[in-house]
Amino acid sequence: MAIIKPFKAIRPARDKVAFVASRSYEEYDKKERNYHLKYNPFSFLHILNPGYKFHKTILGEERFTLIRNRYLEFLEEQILIKDDAASFYLYQIEKEDFKTLGIFCATSVEDYRNDRIKKHEDTLHKRELLFSNYLKTVGFNAEPVLMTYRDSYSIKEIICSEVQAPPEYDFTTPDKKRHRLWRVSDKDAIRNLQEEFSKMESIYIADGHHRSASSNVLASELQSENKNHSGNEPYNFFLSYLIPESEIKIYEFNRMVKDLNGLKKEEFLIRLDTYYRIEKRTQGFYRPSKKHHFGMYLDGAFYSLYLRKNVYEGTDALSKLDTQILYKTILEPILGIRDLRNDKRISYGYGKNNILDMKEHIDKGSHAVGFSLVPITIEEIKAIADANLVMPPKSTYIEPKLRSGLTIYEI
């Protein structure tokens, strides 16, 4: 039984929402971030980067405290306003090749602990503690965890009925994405949505494993400090955005390695022949089209690699995953890459131009070889999560990417 809960969101004033909501802080390079800070006084980046006001880089606890101060200033100036009733919020993102409509809600820490909210990635305890401390100090959560659920006709019907009304927000950002948000405060609609989600055994984290893990850490800490803990306190829940499986978009991460681990090209190809049937492609770019096939770019040429089934056979959801197959057959045994997260010899890339970017890196000599994969499917993600397994780092790049400051959950 999955629990979702309405909440009183802190939201931008309607006439300022296009200026307030920002991309995730890490998505901006320094030049672009400073431009927004200089020319847009309403940007949520002013809250996230309070040191800009003092022309100083501020870190740690002092930064967290100043973030809290900037947040309170935005409330005092009514750039941000708190809703008067607990609600769900329907949020649609639309661009040329992608459209999704989901629900901002509060999800249960208890569901996370009991594995009704399922995970497929490892988290670093150090980062969990850091973000937990951040949440405790600032007192709000502005970056929702992206989750997905099995397609449901009943939920779709409720949502479609609600979005017939004029939206609270309707704006377009410079990346040509249209953003619309509806507030669902009708008690019957809220109850109906909760009942439909209560029928689901599980929902799945798509993006935001550290955020959900940190919320769990914080809830444990605050629960132990609260002698009157009831389970209904805001810290028992965390901000999430839920979309149906059919509306999630998954892209692949390609891999590039800086050297051939001391092997000459011919030696490397001979080692590779143990696991793969290798074909050199003579025309244009090559991109693999199905599972267990890989593209490779080496010394100015594209190759297709076809896994030899008689030498490698997957026994569980993880070992059947293409990112794991590439690791177990090439990256680790041949190229000596053992730590996919920290080894400086390996780099990752994603996006529609990534094959071209990979070729350019290798042609200029910064890397020796690159591998392209097909995207992992939502079924594979669910199989990994259901089996309590963990995918290799950089296995998926998932959309939608959500904006900060659109709906804020107070802890």
Residue 53: pLDDT band by 50, 70, 90 thresholds? confident
- Residues 199-249 pLDDT 10s: 999 999 999 999 999 999 999 999 999 999 999 999 999 999 999 999 999
What length is written for the chain? 411
Instruction: Give the pLDDT confidence score for residue 54 in this predicted structure.
Output: 87
Mean pLDDT of 60-68: 95
Instruction: Give the pLDDT confidence score for residue 205 in this predicted structure.
Output: 97
Least confident of 15-24, 194-203, 278-287: 278-287
Q: Where are the domains of the chain?
A: 4-248+400-410, 253-374
Residue 363 CA: distances (Å) to CA of 83, 180, 254: 55, 43, 16
Q: For the chain, how long is the longest CA-to-CA vector? A: 71
- Residues 279-314 pLDDT 10s: 999 888 898 989 999 999 999 999 999 999 888 988
High-pLDDT (> 70) share of the chain, %: 100
Residues in contact with 212: Cβ distance below 8 Å, sequence separation at least 6, in sequence order? 112, 117, 119, 145, 205, 238, 240
Q: If we measure between CA atoms, which residue out of 241, 171, 185 comes closest to residue 14?
A: 171
H or E stretch at 209: helix 209-225
Q: Which of the listed CATH numbers 3.40.50, 1.10.3470, 1.20.1260, 3.30.1760 matches domain 253-374?
A: 3.30.1760
Mean pLDDT of 177-204: 97
Residue 353 in this model has a pLDDT that exceeds 80: no
- Residues 144-162 pLDDT 10s: 999 999 999 999 999 999 9
Q: If we measure between CA atoms, which residue out of 311, 246, 249 comes closest to residue 277?
A: 311
Q: If we measure between CA atoms, which residue out of 344, 325, 345 comes closest to residue 335?
A: 345
Instruction: Give the pLDDT confidence score for residue 79 in this predicted structure.
Output: 98
How many other C-beta atoms lie within 10 A of the C-beta of residue 147?
Answer: 25
CB 349 within 8 A of CB 256: yes
